[in-house]
Amino acid sequence: MNKDIEFHFKSPEDSPGYLLGQMTVLWQRKVKRALDPLDLTQTQFVLLAALAWISKEKDSVTQIDIANQGNADRMMVSKVLRTLEEKKFLTRKEHQTDTRAKIIKMTTLGASVLQKALLAVETADLEFFSMPDLDLSGFNSTMSKLISKNK
Protein backbone atom coordinates (compact mmCIF):
# COMPACT_ATOMS: atom_id res chain seq x y z
CA MET A 1 0.00 0.00 0.00
CA ASN A 2 1.37 3.42 -0.97
CA LYS A 3 0.36 6.01 1.61
CA ASP A 4 2.74 8.66 0.21
CA ILE A 5 0.48 9.49 -2.74
CA GLU A 6 -1.30 12.77 -2.14
CA PHE A 7 -4.61 13.69 -3.72
CA HIS A 8 -6.03 17.19 -4.00
CA PHE A 9 -9.54 15.84 -3.35
CA LYS A 10 -10.41 14.01 -0.14
CA SER A 11 -12.33 11.30 -2.01
CA PRO A 12 -13.20 10.44 -5.60
CA GLU A 13 -16.70 11.83 -5.01
CA ASP A 14 -15.14 15.27 -4.38
CA SER A 15 -13.54 15.30 -7.85
CA PRO A 16 -15.73 16.83 -10.59
CA GLY A 17 -13.71 14.97 -13.25
CA TYR A 18 -14.28 11.62 -11.56
CA LEU A 19 -18.01 12.32 -11.20
CA LEU A 20 -18.31 13.50 -14.80
CA GLY A 21 -16.54 10.35 -15.96
CA GLN A 22 -18.88 8.12 -13.95
CA MET A 23 -21.94 10.02 -15.16
CA THR A 24 -20.75 9.87 -18.78
CA VAL A 25 -20.29 6.09 -18.66
CA LEU A 26 -23.79 5.59 -17.23
CA TRP A 27 -25.40 8.04 -19.65
CA GLN A 28 -23.64 6.47 -22.66
CA ARG A 29 -24.90 3.06 -21.56
CA LYS A 30 -28.46 4.36 -21.47
CA VAL A 31 -28.14 6.01 -24.89
CA LYS A 32 -26.61 2.84 -26.35
CA ARG A 33 -29.61 0.83 -25.15
CA ALA A 34 -31.91 3.40 -26.78
CA LEU A 35 -30.05 3.34 -30.12
CA ASP A 36 -29.27 -0.39 -30.42
CA PRO A 37 -32.71 -1.30 -31.87
CA LEU A 38 -32.13 1.29 -34.63
CA ASP A 39 -28.69 -0.11 -35.54
CA LEU A 40 -27.03 3.22 -34.69
CA THR A 41 -24.04 3.98 -32.53
CA GLN A 42 -23.99 7.15 -30.47
CA THR A 43 -21.38 8.65 -32.82
CA GLN A 44 -23.49 7.84 -35.87
CA PHE A 45 -26.50 9.41 -34.18
CA VAL A 46 -24.56 12.57 -33.29
CA LEU A 47 -23.33 12.99 -36.86
CA LEU A 48 -26.78 12.41 -38.35
CA ALA A 49 -28.25 14.92 -35.90
CA ALA A 50 -25.50 17.43 -36.77
CA LEU A 51 -26.31 16.99 -40.47
CA ALA A 52 -30.00 17.63 -39.73
CA TRP A 53 -29.26 20.73 -37.64
CA ILE A 54 -26.90 22.24 -40.19
CA SER A 55 -29.27 21.40 -43.08
CA LYS A 56 -31.88 23.65 -41.49
CA GLU A 57 -29.59 26.64 -42.17
CA LYS A 58 -27.52 25.51 -45.19
CA ASP A 59 -28.31 23.77 -48.47
CA SER A 60 -24.79 22.42 -49.04
CA VAL A 61 -23.46 20.69 -45.94
CA THR A 62 -19.88 19.40 -46.02
CA GLN A 63 -18.10 16.83 -43.89
CA ILE A 64 -16.10 19.70 -42.39
CA ASP A 65 -19.33 21.45 -41.34
CA ILE A 66 -20.41 18.28 -39.56
CA ALA A 67 -17.01 17.81 -37.89
CA ASN A 68 -17.01 21.44 -36.71
CA GLN A 69 -20.56 21.17 -35.34
CA GLY A 70 -19.57 18.33 -33.04
CA ASN A 71 -15.94 19.27 -32.28
CA ALA A 72 -15.05 15.96 -33.94
CA ASP A 73 -11.96 14.65 -35.68
CA ARG A 74 -12.34 15.04 -39.47
CA MET A 75 -10.96 11.61 -40.30
CA MET A 76 -13.31 9.94 -37.81
CA VAL A 77 -16.23 11.90 -39.27
CA SER A 78 -15.30 10.79 -42.78
CA LYS A 79 -15.14 7.14 -41.70
CA VAL A 80 -18.47 7.25 -39.83
CA LEU A 81 -20.20 9.09 -42.69
CA ARG A 82 -18.97 6.34 -45.04
CA THR A 83 -20.65 3.78 -42.76
CA LEU A 84 -23.86 5.83 -42.72
CA GLU A 85 -23.71 5.99 -46.50
CA GLU A 86 -23.39 2.18 -46.65
CA LYS A 87 -26.52 1.98 -44.47
CA LYS A 88 -28.27 4.27 -47.01
CA PHE A 89 -28.88 6.94 -44.36
CA LEU A 90 -27.07 9.63 -46.36
CA THR A 91 -25.34 10.37 -49.64
CA ARG A 92 -21.91 11.89 -50.19
CA LYS A 93 -21.22 13.69 -53.47
CA GLU A 94 -18.27 15.65 -54.80
CA HIS A 95 -18.47 19.40 -54.16
CA GLN A 96 -18.99 21.41 -57.36
CA THR A 97 -16.18 23.89 -56.73
CA ASP A 98 -13.97 22.32 -54.02
CA THR A 99 -12.58 18.97 -55.16
CA ARG A 100 -11.46 18.15 -51.60
CA ALA A 101 -14.94 18.58 -50.11
CA LYS A 102 -17.96 16.30 -50.14
CA ILE A 103 -21.58 17.44 -49.97
CA ILE A 104 -23.63 15.38 -47.51
CA LYS A 105 -27.39 14.92 -47.87
CA MET A 106 -29.68 12.86 -45.67
CA THR A 107 -31.82 10.24 -47.41
CA THR A 108 -35.49 9.61 -46.66
CA LEU A 109 -34.44 6.45 -44.82
CA GLY A 110 -31.86 8.41 -42.82
CA ALA A 111 -34.44 11.05 -41.86
CA SER A 112 -36.87 8.35 -40.74
CA VAL A 113 -34.24 6.57 -38.62
CA LEU A 114 -33.01 9.88 -37.19
CA GLN A 115 -36.56 10.86 -36.16
CA LYS A 116 -36.95 7.57 -34.28
CA ALA A 117 -33.48 7.98 -32.76
CA LEU A 118 -34.23 11.52 -31.63
CA LEU A 119 -37.34 10.36 -29.80
CA ALA A 120 -35.41 7.48 -28.19
CA VAL A 121 -32.40 9.60 -27.15
CA GLU A 122 -34.42 12.58 -25.96
CA THR A 123 -36.56 10.23 -23.85
CA ALA A 124 -33.40 8.58 -22.47
CA ASP A 125 -31.94 12.03 -21.70
CA LEU A 126 -35.04 13.18 -19.86
CA GLU A 127 -35.19 9.94 -17.86
CA PHE A 128 -31.48 10.05 -17.04
CA PHE A 129 -31.30 13.71 -16.03
CA SER A 130 -34.67 14.05 -14.32
CA MET A 131 -34.42 14.79 -10.62
CA PRO A 132 -36.88 16.82 -8.60
CA ASP A 133 -34.26 19.31 -7.41
CA LEU A 134 -32.24 19.59 -10.65
CA ASP A 135 -32.62 22.80 -12.64
CA LEU A 136 -31.93 21.26 -16.06
CA SER A 137 -31.72 24.65 -17.77
CA GLY A 138 -29.09 25.86 -15.28
CA PHE A 139 -27.23 22.54 -15.54
CA ASN A 140 -27.17 22.80 -19.35
CA SER A 141 -26.01 26.40 -19.15
CA THR A 142 -23.12 25.46 -16.86
CA MET A 143 -22.08 22.61 -19.15
CA SER A 144 -22.23 24.92 -22.20
CA LYS A 145 -20.01 27.47 -20.45
CA LEU A 146 -17.46 24.78 -19.52
CA ILE A 147 -17.45 23.50 -23.12
CA SER A 148 -16.91 27.02 -24.52
CA LYS A 149 -14.16 27.76 -22.01
CA ASN A 150 -12.26 24.59 -22.85
CA LYS A 151 -12.54 24.49 -26.66
Distances (CA, A) of 139 to 16, 70, 109, 133: 14, 20, 34, 11
Top pLDDT among 71 and 1 is at 71
CATH of 37-121, one of 1.10.10.10, 3.90.1310.10, 3.90.1170.40, 3.90.960.10: 1.10.10.10
Distances (CA, A) of 11 to 5, 7, 8, 14, 20: 13, 8, 9, 5, 14
Distance, CA of 46 to CA of 103 (rounded, Å): 18
Predicted local confidence at residue 7, as pLDDT: 87
Using the predicted structure, report yes or no on whether residue 52 has a pLDDT greater than 90: yes
Using the predicted structure, report yes or no on whether residue 136 has a pLDDT greater than 80: yes
Mean pLDDT for 122-148 is 91
pLDDT band at 70 (very low <50, low <70, confident <90, very high): confident
* φ, ψ at 71 (rounded to 5°): 50, 45
Highest mean pLDDT among 31-35, 74-78, 146-150: 31-35
Domain ranges of the chain: 37-121
